[in-house]
Structure 1
Amino acid sequence: MTDHDGDGDGCVLVEDHGAVRVLTLNRPEKRNAIDLVLRVALAERLESAMADDSVRAIVLTGSGGTFCSGGDISTMRRQSPEETRPRAEAAQRVIRAIWGGPTPVVAAVEGFAYGAGAALALACDRVVAATDARFSTAFTGVGLAGDMGITVSLPARTGPAAARQLLLLPRPIQGPEACTLGLADVLTEPGAAFDWALSDAERIAEGPPLALSAIRAMLGVAPADDPRAALDREVEHQIRLFDTADFAEGVAAFHERRRPEFKGR
Structure 2
Amino acid sequence: MGPGAAVSLRVRADPDTGVAVVTLNRPERLNAIDLATAHELADTWRAFRFDDSVRALVLTGAGDRAFCTGIDRDAVVPQPNSPYSQDDPLLRIGPKSNDLWKPVVAAVRGLACGGAFYLLGECDFVVADPTAAFFDPHTTYGMVSAYESALMAQRMPAGEVARMMLMGTAERISARRAHEVGLVSEVTEEGGHLATALQCAGVIAGHPTEAVQGTVRALWAAQEAARAPAVAQAPQLIALGNAPAERQAELFAGRRTGSPRVR
Question: Which band: TM-score by shorter chain?
Answer: 0.7 to 0.9
Q: Which residue of 2 aligns with 1:91?
A: 90
Q: Displacement, 1:127? A: 0.1
* 1:178 counterpart letter in structure 2: A
* 2:246 counterpart letter in structure 1: A
Q: Which residue of 2 aligns with 1:14?
A: 11
Q: Which residue of 1 aligns with 2:38?
A: 39
Q: Which residue of 2 aligns with 1:167?
A: 165
Tell me if the contact between 1:81 and 1:240 (Cα under 8 Å) persists in the aligned partners: no
Query: Per the alignment, in what secondary structure is the counterpart of residue 200 of structure 1?
Result: helix
TM-score w.r.t. the length of structure 2 is 0.83
* 1:125 counterpart letter in structure 2: D
Distance 1:256 1:150 in 2: 23
* 2:178 counterpart letter in structure 1: A
CA, structure 1 residues 12+250, in 2 after alignment: closer, same or farther (shift >3 Å)?
same
Q: Which residue of 1 aligns with 2:234?
A: 234
Q: How does 1:60-71 map to 2 (within 5 A)?
A: 60-65=59-64, 66-71=66-71
Q: Which residue of 2 aligns with 1:211?
A: 211
CA, structure 1 residues 4+241, in 2 after alignment: closer, same or farther (shift >3 Å)?
same
Tell me if the contact between 1:123 and 1:150 (Cα under 8 Å) persists in the aligned partners: no
1:97-147 CA distance string (max 9 Å, x none): 457322001000000101111342232101000112101122222222235
Gaps of 5+ in 1: 260-265
Are 1:121 and 2:120 counterparts?
A: yes
Tell me if the contact between 1:102 and 1:216 (Cα under 8 Å) persists in the aligned partners: yes
Tell me if the contact between 1:119 and 1:150 (Cα under 8 Å) persists in the aligned partners: yes
1:58-115 CA distance string (max 9 Å, x none): 11111012210122123358x5435996740x31112364573220010000001011
TM-score w.r.t. the length of structure 1 is 0.82
Q: Which residue of 1 aligns with 2:188?
A: 188
Q: Which residue of 2 aligns with 1:50?
A: 49
Q: Which residue of 2 aligns with 1:30?
A: 29
- Among all aligned residue pairs of Structure 1 and Structure 2, give the percentage whose two residues are the same amino acid: 30
Distance 1:253 1:57 in 2: 41
Q: Displacement, 1:151? A: 3.0
Tell me if the contact between 1:56 and 1:104 (Cα under 8 Å) persists in the aligned partners: yes
Q: Which residue of 2 aligns with 1:263?
A: none
Distance 2:122 2:236 in 1: 20
Tell me if the contact between 1:24 and 1:62 (Cα under 8 Å) persists in the aligned partners: yes
